[in-house]
Structure 1
């Protein structure tokens, strides 16, 4: 049994990760702001922290040591530095939930396309990183802190877009809804390409990479990428309805996947280490069909 700290862990695939850790018999502590209920009852320990206030971490973590830490809630290098300083010498292994956004816009990025070990860190708080560009910079700098200052084994898991039948953001469902209703979808650049991972598989990956001896950055997810136009084509095929694409959209119709550029990753390193993920097209087809079944548009 390992002593595991999960920073975050009460939302989406972080919650799925906590459930898996509990099921395998680990002693799990979740650290959150304490504002959101969780379903774990007496199966986990809880501590209350505010990642933007170091003193709350210092108080909550005083006298505690862990075999493994999963960080689901770091969004600035200040937070990364504070956590690192408090946990150095008190944790063996640190798994940071990062993102494919550490890479420049482009397709099928390999891990070496961003080097956290040499990245120059400018320390700012999470509220000083607005928009997509801010998010990219915040995650890059946070990775850099963990890899440069952390005195523990560090993994940066650079996730692509996370999807599932229970995705609370409903970003994929948005496109299905628009096609079914005959409303336009705002996609200024239909050729932009993206990578995806299923939420349960994201949690499985985190659990397994925590058990491994791998360190460094890694790209998990379904192999390959898909353009927004290809995604819409899938929805058209499965619904039998024609999508209305608007390249100069108003804000209400804008696709939540209409980012300023392509973001996709090469997952061959993870695959070479034995990690397996659902085929990308099978995954998206399955989820589109799930939404259509919920609407009674197709039978089981």
Structure 2
């Protein structure tokens, strides 16, 4: 039996991870601010992870085989976590993002070596305490959080760079609904003029991957993405395939400068998943689950 702490993770793929950990017989502890109760069968700790004394007091003398941090968005949060959990966990798993590659634009899928987190400049003086700033600089915040864990004395960590996640009736983002609503209304879908592919992963698959990572011993960054990059038109085709009785013709509105629809990218967001597969995890292909994921999210029977 293993002791695993999950920070955040009460919704979407985090709660699926917790279900897998419990099913495997792990002792699971969930730490959050108390805004939502965790599922039955776990130990619940309440603390503000931005408040170091509060976090340290909640952890107390506990130690863990693995910590999965689902809500680390800034270098400040990473620095607090590193201080609190040094010597208290054998393995720290940070849920990172494909957005750390936002400065890369390659025709081929990007591997982990495209970003050496140890070389990233950390700027703790920026207003990382402001939610609007964190949202605007999401990729940069994750990149600098990775850098905090990657620099200084060795700290056993993994940065899981997660592709865009699809699927589940509990998808709270509204991204697929955005498309469905516009298509049904006959309104144009705004896309980048040079629309590029991106990598995706099913909500169940990323939960399975994070579960698997807690049981491995490798460290460093690892990309998590299904095979088969998608473009906007692929996602739209999957959405329209769920409609009964037809629908207006899909109209695309290319945008050179300005806001575009979710899952429309002016630069490639394709990730290479070879490292994870070489370590023993086998990813699915997007064609295996895209239709199901869209159906689940849109509530189509």
Q: TM-score, normalised by structure 1?
A: 0.87
Query: 1:260: Cα distance to partner?
Result: 5.2
More strand by share: 1
- Once residues 134 and 296 of structure 2 are traced to their aligned partners in structure 1, the CA distance between those partners, rounded to angstroms, is 31
Number of the residue aligned with 2:29: 29
Structure-2 change in CA distance of 1:199 and 1:291 (3 Å): closer
Task: Provide structure 2 residue ranges, at least 5 long, that are not aligned to the other structure.
Answer: none
Q: 1:91·1:152 contact (CA, 8 Å) conserved in 2?
A: no
Structure-2 change in CA distance of 1:135 and 1:49 (3 Å): same
Number of the residue aligned with 1:193: 197
Q: What whole-Å deviation, never above 9, does each CA across 1:207-260 have from its counterpart, x for those lacking one? A: 1111011111111111131222343345456655421212359x9x95222345
Q: 1:121·1:141 contact (CA, 8 Å) conserved in 2?
A: yes
Candidates 221, 225, 240, aligned match of 1:221: 225
Q: Report SS of the residue matched to 1:177.
A: helix
- Once residues 131 and 37 of structure 2 are traced to their aligned partners in structure 1, the CA distance between those partners, rounded to angstroms, is 28
1:55-94 map, 5 Å: 55-94=53-92
Query: 1:295: Cα distance to partner?
Result: 4.6
Q: Report SS of the residue matched to 1:205.
A: helix
Superposition RMSD in Å: 2.6
Structure-2 change in CA distance of 1:154 and 1:131 (3 Å): closer
Query: 1:200: Cα distance to partner?
Result: 0.9
Q: Report SS of the residue matched to 1:226.
A: coil
Query: 1:164: Cα distance to partner?
Result: 0.8
Number of the residue aligned with 2:118: 117
Query: 1:53: Cα distance to partner?
Result: 1.5
Q: Report SS of the residue matched to 1:4.
A: strand
Number of the residue aligned with 2:185: 181
Quick check: 221-230 or 54-63, which moved more?
221-230
- Once residues 260 and 53 of structure 1 are traced to their aligned partners in structure 2, the CA distance between those partners, rounded to angstroms, is 38
Query: 1:191: Cα distance to partner?
Result: 1.6
Task: Provide structure 1 residue ranges, at least 5 long, that are not aligned to the other structure.
Answer: none
More helix by share: 1
The reply on whether 1:247 has 2:254 as its aligned counterpart is yes
Structure-2 change in CA distance of 1:131 and 1:78 (3 Å): closer
